[in-house]
Structure 1
Amino acid sequence: MTITERLTEDMKTAMKARDKQTLSVIRMVRASMQNEAIKLGKGELTDEEELTVLTREVKQRKDSLHEFEEAGRDDLVEGLHYELEVLQRYMPEQLSEEELEQIVQETIQEVGASNKSDMGKVMSAVMPKVKGKADGSQVNKLVLKQLS
């Protein structure tokens, strides 16, 4: 079942349960996916494109969450926590620290990286492998640590 199909099913469930918060988040994500399809000139997105949109939505919420926490806007922080919780249901299972570390080590060996100046090569090789399964900043820290 694709992400869009799961979103549609969960939207119906949220409507029946009169869960306005969940319904709002699902509609927002579906709208983003439709906008992306229009932007790309397609009728439907591939699984990878759906994951890209979903990852972007999660990242936007995390960035906003950070900003709102710094500004002391607890009223908005609570809502964003809920939105993130709903969005995480559709994300693939996240890689553990050990799994991610292993992927980074293998990639460093594949590209023959030896110091921090090779970081761009390593990051561009690692990110497609962990798309949607790990946060980019976490990958960045691991690559930096291993190239030091």
Structure 2
Amino acid sequence: MSLELTINEAIKTAMRAKDKVALDSLRAVKAQIQLLKTESLGAEVSPEQEIAILQRMVKQRKDSFDQFSAQGRNDLAEVEEAQMKIIEQFLPKQLSAEELEAEMKQIIAETGAESVKDLGKVMGVASKNLAGKSDGKSISEMAKKLLS
């Protein structure tokens, strides 16, 4: 089942449960998918694009959460955190630090990277292979750690 159909079903469930936060979050995801479809002239949205949309939305909410928390606006921070958790449910399972390290070691071995100079080569492969399973910042930090 595509993400769009899954989101539509989740919207119906949230409506029945009268869960406003979930409903707002899911409608935002649906709007982003529709926007991407419109931009690509009605072409189907690939699973990779769907994951990218979800990751971007989670990152936006995390950034907002951090800003609201720093400003002492816990009421707004709680809403952002709740929306972030709802959107994360639709992302693939995220890799733990140990799993990420194992994957990165394998990628480094495959690419033959030996130092930080080869970081670009490693990041290209890692970003493609680990899309949706880990964020770019974590991948980059692990690659730098293993290559230095």
- Normalising by structure 2, report the TM-score: 0.93
Q: For 1:49-60, list aligned pairs within 5 A.
A: 49-60=49-60
Equivalent position of 1:146 in the other structure: 146
116-125 or 42-51, which deviates more: 42-51
Equivalent position of 2:94 in the other structure: 94
93-102 or 42-51, which deviates more: 42-51
Equivalent position of 2:39 in the other structure: 39
- Normalising by structure 1, report the TM-score: 0.93
Report the residue type matching 1:108 in the other structure: I
RMSD of aligned C-alpha atoms?
1.3
Shift of 1:106: 1.2
Alignment gaps of 5+ in structure 2: none
76-85 or 46-55, which deviates more: 46-55
Give distance in 2, aligned partners of 1:34 and 1:6. 14
Equivalent position of 1:74 in the other structure: 74
Equivalent position of 1:103 in the other structure: 103
Deviation per CA, 1:75-133, whole angstroms, max 9, x where unpaired?
21111110011001101111122221111111112222111121121111101111111
Shift of 1:55: 1.2
8 Å CA contact 2:108–2:122 kept in 1: the answer is yes
Equivalent position of 2:116 in the other structure: 116
Deviation per CA, 1:24-82, whole angstroms, max 9, x where unpaired?
11001100111011112234312221111111111111122222222222221111110
Give distance in 2, aligned partners of 1:17 and 1:123. 43
Report the residue type matching 1:83 in the other structure: Q
Alignment gaps of 5+ in structure 1: none
Equivalent position of 1:26 in the other structure: 26
Give distance in 2, aligned partners of 1:123 and 1:76. 35
Runs of 4+ in 1 over 3 A off after TM superposition: none
Report the residue type matching 2:33 in the other structure: M
